[in-house]
Amino acid sequence: MLYSEKVMDHFQHPRNVGKMDDADGIGEVGNAVCGDIMKMYIKVRDGIIVDVKFNTFGCGSAIATSSMATEMIKGKSIEEALELSNKAVVEALDGLPAHKLHCSVLAEEAVKAAVKDYYDKHGIAYDAEKFCNGDCACCHAHDAPEDGGKEQ
Q: Which residues contact 105 (CB under 8 A, 6 or more apart)?
A: 86
Strands 37-45 and 48-57, sheet pairing:
antiparallel
Q: Which of 59, 103, 136, 139 is catalytic?
A: 103
CA distance linking residue 7 with residue 63, whole number of Å: 9
Q: Which of 34, 59, 132, 139 is catalytic?
A: 34
The reported pTM is 0.84
pLDDT digits (tens, 9 = 90+) for 93-144: 999 988 888 888 899 999 999 999 999 999 998 888 777 655 544 444 434 4
- The distance of Cα 3 from the centroid of its chain, to the nearest Å, equals 21
Q: Is 139 a catalytic residue?
A: no
First-to-last alpha carbon distance for the chain, in angstroms, is: 64
Identify the DSSP state of 39.
Answer: E
pLDDT tens profile 40-94 = 999 999 999 999 999 999 999 999 999 999 999 999 999 999 999 999 999 999 9
Write the CB contacts of 127 (distance below 8 Å, at least 6 apart in sequence). Answer: none
The yes-or-no answer on residue 34 being catalytic is yes
